[in-house]
Amino acid sequence: MSIPATADVVLVDTIQLAANIGKDCWDRERNQIVLLSIYLHLSPTFLNKSGKSDDVQDSVHYGHLTKVISSLVSDGKAFDDVHALIDEATQAAFKLAGDYADAVRVVVDLPKQILLADGFSMEVTTPKGAGCRDSPTIVRVKDLVLPVLIGVNPPERLARQRVITNITFYQKAGPVGPIDYPNIVKKIASAIDQTDYETLEKFVLEIVQSGLAAEGIEAVTARSQKPSALSFAHSSGVEITRRREIFA
């Protein structure tokens, strides 16, 4: 096991905001719940000073960080998309931390973005001197529940069963056109609704291939689990990760 490198982080976990960041799950542009977490990756050993002095003035005050982020939406400002909100939050965090921040990581969760899923999140880590949109983006669709006709046993061919799927999209760094992730999920769900499978392997691989069809996505990880497959286990599952060039 490798020993982790020295690291100092000040973070605020799950700031609840209401913001217009584009269309919601009902295809309407209006305020929706936004859960924003922000991590200031500081210069190594920066927190030694406050750790010894026990004085918050020697650190980056997480209360001030929370106020700065909350103020971004306090006047009802609308954002073009989630990336625009992440970009402004990143810039505000760098400004607050000054020269002491080596990178800023922002994770935005949108609980109501995808109807059939338990959550949708976008994560961007921006190094000092870089732009948010020039940094790789990770998008996660959490616990997408779909009724699927799947399995090799005779009873499984008679009725659909719940399959829980988690999908991670790795969006490449640099300028790319807008990627409509909710629409990608809708297409996946529609295709599955018209198909049946004998194995999770085929089911998961088709989800990965569908996810890679969108320009700007470099890789996709999909993990699907059947909660009703085994009597004495929570679930059985398959996880597949593929890069774009594999299907080129």
Query: What gap in Å lies between CA 56 and CA 78, rounded to an integer?
Result: 33
Structure token digits, residue 180? 């409509």
Please give the Cα distance from 35 to 93 (Å, whole number). Answer: 16
Would you call 112 helix, strand, or coil by DSSP? coil
- Please provide the average confidence, as pLDDT, over all residues in the chain: 88
- Listed by start position, the domains of the chain span 1-128, 136-248
pLDDT tens digits, one per residue of 205-223: 999 999 998 889 999 999 9
Coil, strand, or helix at residue 194? coil
Whether 155 has a pLDDT exceeding 80, the answer reads no
Tell me the pLDDT tens digit for each residue of 48-62.
Answer: 999 999 998 888 888
pLDDT for 151 equals 72
Give the percent of the chain with pLDDT over 70.
Answer: 94
Which listed CATH number (3.30.1130.10, 3.10.350.10, 3.40.50.720, 3.30.470.20) goes with 136-248?
A: 3.30.1130.10
Q: Given this chain, do its domains 1-128 and 136-248 carry the same CATH topology?
A: yes
Instruction: Mean pLDDT check: name the lowest of 36-40, 133-137, 201-205, 228-232.
Output: 228-232
The answer to whether residue 234 scores a pLDDT higher than 90 is no
Residue 160 binned pLDDT confidence (cut-offs 50, 70, 90): confident
Average pLDDT on 101-112 reads 94
Residue 243: band (very low, low, confident or very high) from pLDDT cuts 50, 70, 90: very high
Architecture of domain 1-128: 2-Layer Sandwich (3.30)
Which ranges constitute the DSSP H helices of the chain? 48-53, 62-71, 82-97, 181-193, 200-211
Angle, CA of 153, 211 and 84, to the nearest 5° = 140
pLDDT at site 231: 52
- C-alpha neighbours within 13 Å on the C-beta side of residue 122: 21
pLDDT recorded at residue 233? 52
